[in-house]
Amino acid sequence: MKSVPTFASPLAALGIHQSTIFYQLAPAALIEAALQRNEGVLTDTGALAVDTGKFTGRSPKDRFIVDDSVSHNNVWWGKVNYKMDGAHFVGIQKRMMAYLNGRDLFVRDCSVCADERYSMSVRVITETAYQNLFAYHLFIRPDKSDINNTMDWTVIAAPGFEADPETDGTRQKNFTIISFSKRIILIGGTGYTGEIKKSIFSVLNFTLPYYNKVLPMHCSANVGPDGDTAIFFGLSGTGKTTLSADTNRRLIGDDEHGWSDEAIFNFEGGCYAKCAGLSAESEPQIFNAIQQGALLENVSFIKGTNEADYNNICKTENTRVAYPVHYINNALIPSAGEAPKHIFFLTADAFGVLPPVAKLTVEQAMYYFISGYTAKVAGTEAGINEPVATFSACFGEAFLPLHPIEYANLLGKKITEQNASVWLINTGWTGGPYGTGERIKLSYTRAMVNAVLDGRLGKVGFRTDPVYNMNIPLSCPGIPDDVLDPRNTWADTEKYEEQANKLALAFVSNFEKYVVISPINLINAGPNTVSAVF
Ligand code: ATP
Ligand code: MN
């Protein structure tokens, strides 16, 4: 490994003078460094497996935006975007740089946005080699000739540096802080790599609509043989990565995209897939992507081997693998496609009441987009698992520096202009809530998505759901008819009605905060609680 002294000067501007810099190392060299530094082990497929430490997921309550001239009047402050004052930021930055000074550091220059009109360069400086490998995989890898020393944004990630909440104005010792005026992101006290990609996603969610009128989206995207693009919105765990990996369609990206006037483009250059329960049979493309160079996080091994055991989730349910997009064999590069013909809203409804597939009107699309519903399953002390409704605006509230309505209006406009069809897909439970019912088979979900994509589902008859007002297909090729109507899948219809009403009320109550800013046809597009209460 060679350090590159030419990078001393830009880092000196940050206050880092005495560090050994490992600049732009290739994956093999990063893995070698990670192994030498005991950051992880090599698996039988040649992937690097690391444990990310105390944090195995993001920490949204510890994500701050610095209150400055760029952000002050524009950011939607509150429980999503916590304010940090400039003085606290300066203090943390100073001590963080002092901490990094003299240490070995990994520096990587990369970029985001596959559409070069919106491309932004990002320098990622990390304390560990594996975080740098993550940046290599997830961001776009520019040609050497396209890299110069002036970067649009700098991300500095040091798991070993912790804030002092008393003096630093943070909630805990870990933090992610975005400064729009300095164009710096500081991440400390956590080794979870998802913070790196999602902080840059937050930046793009501010800059793209604000300066360029491009809609940033928390969605995956793929394209069919006829060039028809499909996008899949959904909160974590609803199936964006899983459903966008499709042997019959080319992958654009699995998580973050922009929609300009004429095209869809990936922000990233790689994927970050869940590994829990992964098998070669059910998800072959993702399984096969865990090859040489890939980065596995928090997985366990089959005893006495270096073979990952994806069914073992003792460290966390959120076991992950990061790999460059071209590890999916039919990925499309550059990662861009036409404006979407079909849009899917994925939801994992643990109440077991939403239909597995339904067609939405434009108003319904906006209503369900703003609502951003999925469900989580929370264990109680008595050991009973109860579904909890989660509403996260635009299927990604945690990453929205602007008010959700700004994104929703942009989406509504684009859907209308481009005449895209919008479908709700429940990838969650059927036949009863979590615990009683079961998760909809992945093969069924894939069959329903395919029937939309090849146009067959557009041609069948529909009926309107009395509570949710959505149009539910009467039949779907490859799917037994009774699966399509959630009422039929429950043993007790009365219990179904009760549960459907409970969730409808949760929708209405969540939407109350948007009522004052929404036109009446949008409010009316929600579930019909009157007919459900009797
Ligand atoms: P994140 O935003 O955290 O990356 P994601 O939306 O990409 O989340 P996935 O990684 O695709 O979510 O996770 C969906 C998980 O649910 C996978 O582990 C998949 O195997 C599982 N699953 C089970 N049944 C289904 C189904 N019917 N449809 C989609 N996924 C399913
Ligand atoms: Mn994903």
End-to-end CA distance of the chain: 72
Tracing tokens 């009403």 back to the chain, one arrives at 501
CATH class in words for 215-259+339-523: alpha beta
CATH topology of domain 271-327: Phosphoenolpyruvate Carboxykinase; domain 2 (2.170.8)
CA distance 469 to 272: 35
Domain with CATH 3.40.449.10 in the chain: 5-39+59-212
Ligand 1 in contact with 440 (CB < 6 A)? yes
Q: How far is the CA of 100 from the centre of ligand 2 (A)?
A: 31
pLDDT tier at 8 (50, 70, 90 boundaries)? Answer: low
Q: Return binding residues for substrate.
A: 58, 192, 198, 320
pLDDT mean over 118-145: 96
For residue 221, pLDDT over 50 is answered with yes
The pLDDT, as a whole number, for residue 147 is 86
**Which of 232, 274, 325 for mutating ligand 1's site (highest number of atoms within 8 Å of CB)?**
274
> In this structure, are residues 345 and 422 in contact, taking their beta carbons and an 8 Å threshold?
yes
CA distance 430 to 442: 12
CA atoms within 13 A on the CB side of 458: 10
If we measure between CA atoms, which residue out of 317, 284, 288 comes closest to residue 300?
317
pLDDT mean over 275-284: 96
If we measure between CA atoms, which residue out of 252, 257, 258 comes closest to residue 228?
252
Domain with CATH 3.90.228.20 in the chain: 215-259+339-523
CATH topology of domain 5-39+59-212: Phosphoenolpyruvate Carboxykinase; domain 1 (3.40.449)
Domain with CATH 2.170.8.10 in the chain: 271-327
pLDDT mean over 109-123: 96
CA distance 264 to 266: 7
User: Which atom of ligand 1 sits closest to the CA of residue 237?
Assistant: 12
The pLDDT, as a whole number, for residue 379 is 64
Enter the tokens of residue 405: 């309505």
The pLDDT, as a whole number, for residue 478 is 92
- Closest C-alpha to ligand 1, atom 9: 239
Given 320, 341, 342, 359, the catalytic residue:
320
H or E stretch covering 304 = none
For residue 285, pLDDT over 60 is answered with yes
Q: pLDDT tens digit string along 417-458?
A: 999 999 999 999 999 999 899 999 999 999 999 999 999 998
Q: How far is the CA of 10 from the centre of ligand 1 (A)?
A: 41
SS3 letters across 94-110: HHHHHHHCCCEEEEEEE
